[in-house]
Amino acid sequence: MNPTWVETELAAMPAGAVSLDCFPWNRRLTENVKAGHYKKTLELFQQMQEEGMIPDRFTFVPVLNACASLEALEEARHIHAQIIKSGYESDIYVGSSLVDMYAKCGHIEDARQVFDRIPTCDVVACNAMILGHVKCGQAERALELFQQMQSEGVEPVAITFVGVLNACASLMALEKGRQVHQQIRQCHFESNVFVASSLVDMYAKCGSIDDASYVFKRMPTRNVVVWSAMILGHVKCGQGQKALQLFQEMQHEGVEPNLVTFIGVLNACASIAALDEGRRVEEQIIQCGCNADAFVGNSLIDMYSKCGSIKDARRVFDTMSKRDVVAWNSMILGYVKCGQGHNALVLSRELQHEGVVADHVTFVGVLNACASVAALEEGRHIHKQIIQSGAESNIFVSNSLVDMYAKCGSIEDACKVFNNMSTRNVFAWTTMLGGYAMHGGGHEALGHFERMCQEGVEIDNITFVSLLSACSHAGLVDEGVHFFESTSLVYSVCAAVEHYACMVDLLGRAGCLDEAESLITTMPCEPSGSVWNALLGACRIYGNVEMGECIAKRVLESDPGNAAGYVLLSNIYAAAGKWDSSANVHRQRLERGVKKEPGRTWIEVNNEVHSFIVNDEEHPQISEIHAELKRLSVPMNNLGYVPDTRFVLHDVEEEEKVSRLCHHSEKLAIAFGLISTPPGTSLRIFKNLRVCGDCHTATKFISKIVGRVIIVRDANRFHHFENGLCSCQDYW
């Protein structure tokens, strides 16, 4: 690290100015401070006074330095009083030490008061004050003071430039930084290792990585601080690979990495998902004994979760001795990112249990987790905590609240939070629009979009995706076509692949298969899997085997890993009774090793999320669930329910098919909800894939028989089942 100005000054202290009586004491005090024995320094100071010595101006310098290092503010204030009594406060050495001490203890206003009382503007005091302002996050004041000292004719020294460059870095003031660099050249300080390091750091933090490299390459010797600055700078500029290369070079040159280096390298691994390299770095960290550091631990968790190895992230998390809120946040967000929202919620409860105070990031993470598994009750609970902590005014938190309520099926609550927001950015508006789209509220969505335009919100790509999908889900074909045609003309948004996918979906659902197909041929870019799948979905709905076959062939030839393509084609065949063809496609997918996401349904009961898969045998109450489904089948059949066995893909006996249908994860979750909640309670379930047609029909009957509202969120949208009907009007 850079030497503090005190260390520099101590070395340069004129021996002749020292009073003879105190001289041996002062020397011992100075030696102890230099050796880092701060407590011992203060003890000696006590001892010398007990022996009747009267401290002189040079006694106070090491003593205040010891206080600063120990952040012993109480002690320092006593000494300050003593200094005032003995008239040394305005002395340049003592005054500067006081400024330095207060700044290091974080009491910048006290520092400034002492500084302003020093009669002559001196470079030593100025340096202490500039560094103090930088340390306390007052970079502007540091730069003002730098200006002031120069106008008073005080020549800056190396340490002054270090402080000023740090100030520029923290303000990201690249132009000012360049000016200072010019001045450094003129003063011939460019070859000073501390100044050069600070230059590299400043350029790297300001995002000008080329300038940083230029200075870096010209440095005759490079210590770990400057290497780390270069590594972090490259990560910041999105050059993770180059950062890892620098790490190698640094070790080749025999420079040992420190904590900051490791954090930089882990960030680099995270940014380019370099899991193997990340593991090697962890080994090295353990060898150096740096793994106990909280920052390193947090970076490891972040790296592993961003590299997709949540198990490793959890291993690091579990072995950390001290876990701050950042560690909890990294772990919670890691679970959310890899689709384990359920585990994120379990962890968030542990966090509360351990009494860790949640911050904005925690709230955003937990709300995302609630949204991902549709845990509305848990979400409401978190909302209460957010209100209590006053975090509701944070725009990220309130955006996440809107998103959570919309995705958990309570569009009313989403609307309430949205209307209460004092400032709304395009993200909030679009989240709300997406909420309307998912709930099939086409006209609400259009009204909302109109309001957006009136209030002058800048509309982006994602806004348009939500708008088009709202039209699609509500069957508003003309409106959708109108908006699509005006994307680039009126709203200056370029039509992208996602917009075409929405339009193909919209036309396809409405039965305009030929129009949808010809729209694809007009695309300026290569149609993606999602575009073709939208058309395949339409072929399935309208039973168009011919078109479906033709498209699927083309899609699977160009993208044999498109799992949804196989499933849709297999469904198209099955729906047309072509069992052999359906089974063939199924087999083909397995042979090619293409895995589809297994269907899974979640339901939240009594603040606990239960998850089901098809033919689930794991759930502790599975026999009661089967009994409930059997009991329901009698009134269902009486009301005219006919199991739609087209949704069973296997060519088996009819009876077996009915029983398999019965064990779809949607039905298991609904039955569990019915037996676990009092009559009349609404049920909310969430399926990760599109809800199956037979389950959709069955749920309509169940809602009528049991007199309950059943809200199902699938991969596409919400279905509100009530009294035998669904809000989607069977159009989804």
- Residues of this chain that interact with Zn ion (CB under 5 A) are 664, 692, 694-695, 719, 726, 728
Give CA separation, 721 vs 81, 698, 725, in Å: 76, 10, 6
CA 209 from centre of chain: 25
Cβ neighbours around 142 below 10 Å, total: 25
Q: Which is nearer to Zn ion, 175 or 655 (CB)?
A: 655
CB of 600 to Zn ion, least distance (A): 13
Give CA separation, 356 vs 337, 348, 353, 378, 479, in Å: 22, 10, 8, 18, 50
Sheet with strand 710-713: strands edge to edge: 608-613, 600-605, 683-687, 710-713, 718-722, 725-726
Q: In this structure, what token pair is assigned to residue 355?
A: 């009494």
Minimal CA–CA distance to 686: which of 709, 712, 668, 667? Answer: 712
SS (H, E, C) 640-690: CCCCCHHHCCCCCCHHHHHHHHHCCHHHHHHHHHHHHCCCCCCEEEEECCC
CB of 696 to Zn ion, least distance (A): 6
Give CA separation, 223 vs 247, 255, 578, 605, in Å: 13, 7, 71, 58
- DSSP assignment of 209-276, as one string? HHHHHHHHHH-SS--HHHHHHHHHHHHHTT-HHHHHHHHHHHHHTTPPP-HHHHHHHHHHHHHTT-HH
**Spatial separation of the C-alpha atoms in residues 97 and 89, rounded to whole Å:** 10
CB of 731 to Zn ion, least distance (A): 8
CB of 561 to Zn ion, least distance (A): 26
CB of 438 to Zn ion, least distance (A): 12
**Spatial separation of the C-alpha atoms in residues 357 and 108, rounded to whole Å:** 27
CB of 592 to Zn ion, least distance (A): 25
Give CA separation, 668 vs 4, 395, 602, 643, 720, in Å: 68, 38, 10, 16, 18
Q: In this structure, what token pair is assigned to residue 298?
A: 């947090």
Q: Which residue do the tokens 């106990």 mark?
A: 292
| SS3 state at 555 | helix
Give the type of residue at 577: G
Cβ neighbours around 659 below 10 Å, total: 15
> 506: number of CA atoms within 13 Å, CB side?
30
- Are residues 541 and 512 in contact, defined by beta-carbon separation less than 8 angstroms? no
CB of 647 to Zn ion, least distance (A): 6
Minimal CA–CA distance to 118: which of 132, 103, 138, 97? Answer: 97
- Are residues 566 and 538 in contact, defined by beta-carbon separation less than 8 angstroms? no
Q: Which is nearer to Zn ion, 371 or 728 (CB)?
A: 728
CB of 403 to Zn ion, least distance (A): 22
Please provide residue 417's backbone torsions phi and psi, each rounded to the nearest 5 degrees: -60, -45
Q: Which is nearer to Zn ion, 291 or 697 (CB)?
A: 697
Minimal CA–CA distance to 291: which of 255, 309, 318? Answer: 318
**Spatial separation of the C-alpha atoms in residues 692 and 671, rounded to whole Å:** 16
**Spatial separation of the C-alpha atoms in residues 418 and 388, rounded to whole Å:** 18
CB of 544 to Zn ion, least distance (A): 22
